Amino acid sequence: MEEREKVVRHMWDVYTNSRRIRLPRFWQEAFEAAYEDLTNDVAEVRDAAITEIAKMSVHSIHFDPPPVQSTVRSSSSSSSIFFARSALSNFILDRGSVLS
């Protein structure tokens, strides 16, 4: 999971500092949903958001490129995005009730 968290931190850096690079949809949606947590002054809140996105990326992102001859798009990609959004929303709601 540590490697995934490093990837999330790198992608967050790209998201916040690069105007030329457009991130894949998963990253954009995850960072938009968790923006307040990722920019929070409390390190534990930021770290928890990074960890949650890293966990979701395990289910949503395949780092290995698809085979070259494959042109069929998997229908699971849209369900993965839905899962990621739902999980992140639930995490944010749960964290909010714990911190209140």
pTM for the full model? 0.59
pLDDT value of position 75: 47
Q: Alpha-carbon distance 24 to 95, whole Å?
A: 26
Could you read off the pLDDT tens digit of each residue along the chain, which spans 100 residues? 889 999 999 999 999 998 898 899 999 999 999 999 999 999 999 999 999 999 998 877 555 454 555 444 444 445 555 555 666 666 555 555 444 4
How far from the centroid of its chain's Cα atoms is residue 23's Cα?
Answer: 11
The residues near 50 (Cβ < 8 Å, ≥ 6 apart) are 5, 8, 9, 12, 38
- Is residue 52 within 8 A of residue 91, CB to CB? The reply is yes
pLDDT value of position 88: 64
Q: Alpha-carbon distance 70 to 36, whole Å?
A: 38
- Is residue 20 within 8 A of residue 78, CB to CB? The reply is no
